Structure 1
Amino acid sequence: MSKQVQMLDTEMGVQLVQIARRSLEQYVRHKQHYSPDLNQLPHSVCQPGCSFVTLTDHGWLRGCIGNTQARWALAEDVARNAVAAASRDPRFSPVTSRELEDIRLEVTLLTPPQELTYHTYEDLLGKLRPRVDGVMLTWDLRRGLLLPQVWDRIPEPVEFLRAITHKAGIPQHELMMYPPTISVHTFQVQHFHEPGYQEPGG
């Protein structure tokens, strides 16, 4: 696991969750973008980093957006993704102020994705590490991923890959092609969430 993710302790994770909540509330209530003051934050969250922010409502997915490439300081990335999860997830309508009381969020920090070399579909299945790796599939111009937390809901590698292809709009039969036509990357995570957060069941 990358040094970036390992070095964040619980206190830093709580700060990132608070940044995500403040950004979410400020955007949904006032349509204003919150930018954390990096001068007031620890060095560890001011370095470029990748994050996802997941929103749930009573255990049901309400939005999830993130980045797999570091573009901004980690704290800024979290703030941006909180807004994006609430307003730009194409699967959902934008979050409204009336929903905020029931929304719970999780911040997930990602290691840089590493390419997974495989030769056949069966080879790929054998190399996946359930509950350890997140998986990203790229085919043509389409890309989709699932975070490691989703293994708790989809524990079988076959179904896990199928869910990613469905999410990304990748034809499922491309997984069976030889030589492989789908690029596979894996990554690890560290995640922090608000009290009352439940892993989404839908």
Structure 2
Amino acid sequence: MEDIIKDLNQISEEEGLALVELAKIAIREYLKSDRIIDLKEIPFENWKKKGASFVTLERKDTGELRGCIGSIIPFRPLYQDVIYNAIASATKDPRFNPVSLEELPFLKTKVSILSFPQILQYKDPQDLLEKIKPFEDGVILKLGEYQGTFLPDVWEQIPDKEKFLSHLCLKAGLPPNCWIKYHPEIFIYKTRIFED
């Protein structure tokens, strides 16, 4: 197996909080100079390993989402994944206008590190409902070319399993009953979240 982050407990609190700082610096630098930062020295060994991350930006006052972009499968060093996803979250999330430099002090930054997705075998919609764990599982739904994912923290907004899966179908560009009608592939993963 290549050098990838296999266990989320590998990442210490110190490393995780440093990733949040890295995300903030990457966004600030990009908004100021259009430059994607790179590190001359990598401060932690784990950062060199391939890792998948999501960077979420929220307004500090209301908790409203302001951008969220990430990778599901590890394909580049963790620190680079965080840099690129941080910039994309601030500037390329199609749901929002790009973040402005003036807005940055009012935003909270969250970095979620993802475990490697595992396929979830299930017989029928009822079995699927029994097997997914709210507030624990991040869920990827895949049907042909269509794919969407919700991080585990989305359960806080949509705690109902049926609604959660219906919204996930919509996010993937499918009808809301796709999980009942078509038996899509389901993968689950865990996350470890660090925030400022």
Residue-pair matches, total:
190
Instruction: Give the ranges of 4+ consecutive aligned residues of structure 1 lying more than 4 Å apart after TM superposition.
Output: none
* 1:86 is aligned to 2:90: yes
Deviation track 1:53-90 (CA, whole Å, cap 9, x = no partner) reads 00011311000000011111101100110001011111
Counterpart of 1:18, as a letter, is: E
TM-score (normalised: structure 2)? 0.92
Aligned counterparts of 1:40 and 1:71: Cα–Cα separation in 2: 18
* 1:13 is aligned to 2:16: yes
Counterpart of 2:173, as a letter, is: G
Unaligned stretches of 5+ residues in structure 1: 195-202
Which residue is 2:43 aligned to?
A: 41
Instruction: Give 1:118 shift.
Output: 1.0
8 Å contact from structure 1 (residues 19, 36) kept in 2? no
Which residue is 2:125 aligned to?
A: 121
Aligned counterparts of 2:160 and 2:39: Cα–Cα separation in 1: 39
The 3-state SS of whatever aligns with 2:51 is strand
8 Å contact from structure 1 (residues 36, 79) kept in 2? no
Aligned counterparts of 1:142 and 1:35: Cα–Cα separation in 2: 33
Unaligned stretches of 5+ residues in structure 2: none
Aligned counterparts of 1:153 and 1:172: Cα–Cα separation in 2: 17
* 1:74 is aligned to 2:78: yes
Aligned counterparts of 1:5 and 1:60: Cα–Cα separation in 2: 27
Give the root-mean-square deviation of aligned CA atoms: 1.3
- % identical aligned pairs: 34
Aligned counterparts of 1:189 and 1:124: Cα–Cα separation in 2: 20
TM-score (normalised: structure 1)? 0.90
Which residue is 2:159 aligned to?
A: 155
Which residue is 1:177 aligned to?
A: 181
The 3-state SS of whatever aligns with 1:95 is coil
Which residue is 1:200 aligned to?
A: none
